[in-house]
Chains A and B, each alone.
Chain A
């Protein structure tokens, strides 16, 4: 090995307990100003008041809390520690500048029910981001209200349903089938179901693309409301027949929804609106670098054609004149509100800052680097791991454990062994149609040296799988805890601490 890969070591402070186990009666970590109004007997009847004195809630000092969380933080892997190649998750660097922007007092202290005349700057941020996202997707109608990808998806599918109901009237009740490829994210069918659609699955070809013949066959029945398609798809391949796919669905009277989870492969290079797509959601917490925060907050803007615009959630944020913005509730065909207030506003600030600091050329450059990095990994691992699809990948690439499993080493084991080499594992066992899938998305936030280290680590694991499979099967070796017994955890769930 030339990249000097060495194993990580154990943590300094592995035994931090639960905060409840640290609690000591009478300890306090806060101080409020003394009550400065005349105390009165509250008119809240005794039977409406708490009588448990919040027993069990922690009593700790400030330094207890600091040590508690700092110790726990050392048990986490994070982007700032290194490459986090989770396929379909786009774990790119989160700029500190964007964090600073989101904390500017003029935004952070602004109440969401402030009159629009006193919140013009906040509305301007939303409006400008809408304009940029419209340009990037080629789809002019936008709502930033959805709070995450699945939420944007649900919004998009409800818009399709409202459009069909308006177009077809009572006849729309026969058009309740949503087509979804077998490689799709699980949120797709779940969102379709929430909008009252039943799901039919489209097969993928041996090449890893949507099967056009199967699509035509499913579209022939007349009840198709639409298609939900990820592009590039979850195998990392661009659906090169996308235009034809859209035409087939449109001819059958349906609409095309694109899952924008993989937009990091397209920004500045190609636009869904130019491909015939009717509605898409974006993930600001993927493509536009807002932090994932250990599972959110996200932000899932929904972008659509002019034709679908009247169905977007209310309120719309529109321009009244050159520098004045207002909330428009007068949208009688809207699907309604999908969230209180305006959505995850703090994420919009960060995404606008991302867009403005990159500039138009920087946005495209990021896409190029993301695709180049994935290609580099594809080329680097193809001799050691089974690559089930020959096509050139975009921003992510899928491999399998086919070769290693002959020795009893499976995808899960390879993933756990990667931890010993100091990397976060890739996405595993997804997409479901690829047995033993390992979906690798490096993003643009890694350089060649780190890519080489990752490739070396994967190659090293491939040889360990042959020479010393036990070593891989028992990984990880140097983490604070080993593999946890998830089956027992699910059978007898313990979901909270009890004294």
Chain B
């Protein structure tokens, strides 16, 4: 082939790179491994992650839920996972119709009218929601509370630091673990976005309807963020409560934990704001013969057309993970999503009741919970949880001290439909004996 194009050696291919800029030595990376060697290496590294084998009660933005076998089977189809962004609709209808169904499912769950094709994850979706609220309201203040996921707040801070948006963070009620009253009091005529996470980082459900009224009375948008999307199977949809933008982490819908990613940002809003939404949108379209198909649409919002005036810089999103969530939601369906959510709530309530009865343990917050709740232990949570892991092979939750140093004994416990009664009972037993 080199000869066919008139070259003599592979080095000639790089003639346009000045000699002094070319690497004159081999890369200092390892020599090639065979399949057998490679798998052995990765298995060895995987063995150094003992937590992956334990019974777990960890949540806090990443959840262990049941994943039907067909989810991974379908997303492993070459036609889906080795395709690009559907720029040529005539040969991308599989991807496009899937996204259209995904958008519909997100609308149904959130109770809103328009949803996009996905964002990177819940945290970046929240940051984009705040930026969008600024565009819609032309105001530059966002208000959130310390009961939102600490890492989500960090991401919002990073995103808005150069956008002229001020992020104000109000505290939560120490008695209930909720923040909605303090948030409602903080909203003013300069607020672009009133941000509430519900269920919040402590698992407590906030009064979203009250916040919608408070936000709208001052001309602000209510942004609801959800880290545990399974809660949508049981709790009133944020749209029905009056939210203007709903963002969520969709990992609960058929996506493995995978040490934090790839996950799936859900983004939904009211129809009147459709042209302000970030990211890709798929819409219905027809060909000359009247056959229905789907296309990427309203692209004039996007970076490849609008450049610096685009609604976001996002291009590649989480297409394959949106497919996983679509397969999950269609397989579980109307009944399954509600049953899984109900089981989560029942099992968490059972676990909370039992733990509260153990000597030395209490539940510091009185607000209603979905499937996560805070437990106050008799000793430092970090040490307690480390011992539980090591001695009992149970990950009992997340120590809050890593985010809130003033709460040394508190930890966040999460229960899902995958935790059996026997597992819950042994957690309770281990807490009382350790």
Nearest-CB residue, chain A, relative to B69: A62
With A121-B45, A294-B323 as known contacts, state yes or no: A73 contacts B94, CB within 8 Å. yes
A294 touching B320, Cβ below 8 Å = yes
Enumerate B312-347 residues with CB–CB distance to A below 8 Å: 312-323, 327, 329-340, 342-343, 345-347
Is the beta-carbon distance between B297 and A489 smaller than 8 angstroms? yes
Q: A29-B333, A346-B262, A495-B281 are in contact. Are A49 and B30 (CB under 8 A)?
A: no
**Across the interface, do A28 and B258 meet the contact criterion of CB distance under 8 Å?**
no
Contacts of A349 in B (CB 8 A): 42
Q: A residues within 8 A CB of B90?
A: 416, 419, 476, 479-484
Q: Does B434 contact A (CB under 8 A)?
A: no
Task: Point out which of A16, A78, A189, A371 has the most chain B C-beta atoms below 10 A from its C-beta.
Answer: A78
Q: State whether A243 touches B21 (Cβ < 8 A).
A: yes
User: Which residues in B have their C-beta under 8 angstroms from that of A169?
Assistant: none
Docked-complex contact B46 and A493, CB < 8 angstroms: no
- Is B191 in contact with chain A by the CB < 8 A criterion? no
Which of A66, A147, A337 has a CB less than 8 Å from the CB of B262? A147
Specify which chain B residues have a CB less than 8 angstroms from the CB of A135 in the assembled complex: 27-29
Chain B CB within 10 Å — which of A74, A97, A100, A341 has the most?
A341
A187 near B303: Cβ-Cβ < 8 Å: yes
Interface size class of B (residues with CB under 8 A): 35 or more
By the criterion CB–CB under 8 Å, are B81 and A293 in contact?
A: yes
**Inter-chain contacts of B80 with A (CB < 8 A):** 69, 73, 76, 78, 293-294
Which bracket fits the contact residues of A? 35 or more
User: Is A242 a contact of B21 with CB atoms below 8 Å?
Assistant: yes
Which A residue sits closest to B27, measured CB to CB?
A360
Q: Judging by beta carbons under 8 Å apart, are A37 and B346 in contact?
A: yes
Interface class of chain A by DSSP: loop
| A151, CB-defined interface residue at 8 Å | yes
| Cross-chain contact B303 with A150 (CB below 8 angstroms) | yes
- Complex contact B62–A392 (CB within 8 A): no
CB-nearest residue of chain B relative to A69?
A: B74
Give min CB distance, B377 to chain A, whole Å: 16
A4 located at the interface, meaning its Cβ lies under 8 Å from any Cβ of chain B in the complex: no
In the bound complex, residues from chain B placing their C-beta under 8 Å from that of A296 are 118, 120, 262, 316-321
Q: Is the CB of A76 within 8 A of B79?
A: yes
Residues of B within 8 A of A94 (CB): 81-82
Q: CA separation between A416 and B34, bound complex, in Å?
A: 40
Cβ contact within 8 Å between A344 and B27: no
| Contact among B48, B274, B332, B336 for A121, CB-based, below 8 A | B48
- Assess whether B368 is in contact with A48, with CB atoms less than 8 Å apart: yes
Q: A114-B395, A191-B313, A364-B26 are in contact. Are A342 and B260 (CB under 8 A)?
A: yes
Question: Residue of A at shortest CB range from B7?
Answer: A375
Q: Tell me which of B42, B117, B155 contacts A101 (CB under 8 A).
A: B42
Q: A394-424 interface mask toward B, CB cutoff 8 Å, 1 = contact, 0 = none?
A: 1000000000000000000001100100001
Which residues on B sit within 8 Å (CB–CB) of A291? 81-82, 320
Query: A114–B51 contact, CB under 8 A?
Result: yes
Interface string of A2-40 (1 = CB under 8 A from B): 000000000000001011100000011110110111111
User: Whole-angstrom distance from the CB of A194 to the nearest CB of chain B?
Assistant: 6
**B-side contacts of A484, CB under 8 Å:** 89-90, 285-287, 293-295
- Which of B70, B289, B315 has the largest count of A CB atoms less than 10 A from its CB? B315
Asked whether B171 is an interface residue with its Cβ less than 8 Å from the other chain, the reply is no
Which residues of A lie under 8 Å from residue B115 when comparing CB positions?
495-496
A91 proximal to B (CB < 8 A): yes
Are B283 and A112 in contact (CB-based, < 8 A)? Answer: no
Is the Cβ of B313 less than 8 Å from the Cβ of A190?
Answer: yes
Residue among B75, B118, B122, B260 with the most chain A CB within 10 A? B260
Bound complex: CA A363 to CA B100 (Å): 38
Closest 9 CB pairs of A and B: A106-B46, A293-B320, A341-B260, A359-B32, A295-B319, A112-B260, A196-B162, A121-B48, A297-B262
Given A45-B368, A57-B108, A480-B291, 7 new contacts (CB under 8 A) = A30-B331, A78-B82, A104-B43, A187-B303, A296-B317, A340-B121, A485-B286
A-B residue pairs in contact (CB < 8 Å), sample of 7: A48-B236, A189-B307, A243-B18, A297-B262, A360-B29, A360-B31, A497-B101
